[in-house]
Copies of this chain bind each other. A is one copy, B any other.
Amino acid sequence: MSELRQNTITKDWVVIAPERSKRPDEFKHRKVQDKRAEQDVKEQAACPFCPGNEAMCGEAVLTYYQKDSGKGPQAKWSLRVVPNKFPALVEDEETSRITEGIGNFFVKMNGVGHHEVVIEHPEHFQTIATMSREAVEGILASYIERYQQLSEDPCVQLITIFRNNGPRAGTSLRHPHSQIIASPIIPIQIRHVIEEAVRYFDTMGRCIFCTMIEQEKTVEKRVISETEHFISVAPFASRSPFEIWIVPKRHRASFAKISDVEKRDLAGVLRDILSRLYHGLGDPDYNYMIHSAPYHEDPADYYHWHLQILPKLSEVAGFELGSSIYLNTTSPEENARFLRGIKASNS
């Protein structure tokens, strides 16, 4: 018989039905292979993120350079942040709501905000799982720099940092990249999670995320890895196969305020976890998202930033869309055990 489990933090309910399940290795949807094939030369020539094609993007808002590549116009970049060429939101000062209809029934506003692309690496066929630890640290450093910069725009209410990896996860561009969207609104779903965290804090006198970390360390079976500053777990009520949360042990509401030591540690953890997915499941498509408190709120006591990884191994279908209940045909405990057993890349 399946189980219904509730995520204590988000209040999401999930049907955990591993009897409907495949074995973990049946999720391998394609072979990891050397992708630098002849036919890929064309792809690179047309890639707006490859070195030599910089003019295909707007001017970089942030550039990091390779060590020992000199200074001046000949210097080689290691990472660039550029404006998205097809931005969902663009800079503007007009954040007034516009209403239409009797009784102001329809509410809208200009698409105000920022939409940037982090070109993570000069090499077209890299992905975080295969990069050096230093390269991953550079990606995190750029997230933090841009987060801090974008927070200074008074229109900005929420900054979402995310990575779409592979076509099933919503990207057609293979060149390694992440995105940052700064939006002028706080959606009700984010409010609800914060409200639940406040409610827990008011009752129990402590952060609900800190409590989760303590509980997961005690039961052990859903922990994938633990370092000095981070714990990676398959959540008790994982919404889909191989969902992973990377949670900092130090309580802090905003991602942008992590220390340099934490940043270095996180680079290793993120690379290690994505490498386990890459080798264990054959380079699956995935999305990852950094959940951080809305900037102007800084609800320091009760919210706790974290990173969620959702491999794209199943489809959200009519049941999920109609009931808001998730259906997961795998066991989080089994998935954690499987991933613990995968040998990750060496640094």
| Residues of A near any B CB (own CB < 8 A) | 1-6, 8, 11-13, 15-17, 19-20, 86-90, 92, 100-103, 105-112, 158, 160-164, 167-171, 179, 181, 183-185, 187-190, 192, 204, 211-212, 214-215, 218-219, 236, 287-291, 308, 310, 314-319, 321-325, 327
Contacts and interface: CB of A to CB of B under 8 A. Distances in A.
A88 B328 CA distance: 9
A15 B187 CA distance: 12
A319 B111 contact: no
B169 A88 contact: no
B6 A107 contact: yes
Given A20-B88, A88-B20, A219-B101, A15 B111 contact: yes
Nearest to A181: B319
A110 B4 contact: yes
A241 to B, nearest CB: 14
Contact of A107 (B8, B90, B158, B179): B8
Contacts of A160: 318-319, 322-323, 325
Given A163-B318, A168-B315, A322-B161, A5 B105 contact: no
Given A107-B5, A317-B170, A322-B289, A15 B162 contact: no
Nearest to A107: B6
Copies in the complex: 2
Nearest to A159: B323
A318 B160 CA distance: 9
Contact of A317 (B171, B321, B323, B327): B171
Nearest to A19: B86
Contacts of A321: 162, 287, 289, 308, 310
A5 B108 CA distance: 4
A19 B310 CA distance: 29
Contacts of A170: 314-318
A58 to B, nearest CB: 15
Given A171-B317, A288-B318, A318-B164, A1 B90 contact: yes
Contacts of A12: 187-188
Contacts of A162: 317-319, 321-322
Contact of A101 (B110, B168, B215, B324): B215
Given A192-B188, A323-B158, A215 B169 contact: no
15 contacts: A4-B89, A4-B108, A8-B105, A17-B88, A19-B86, A88-B319, A101-B219, A102-B218, A160-B322, A162-B319, A169-B315, A187-B324, A192-B192, A289-B322, A291-B322
Contacts of A110: 1-4
Nearest to A5: B108
B169 A317 contact: yes
Contact of A211 (B103, B107, B167, B315): B103
A215 to B, nearest CB: 5
B322 A4 contact: no
Contacts of A187: 12-13, 323-325
A147 to B, nearest CB: 13
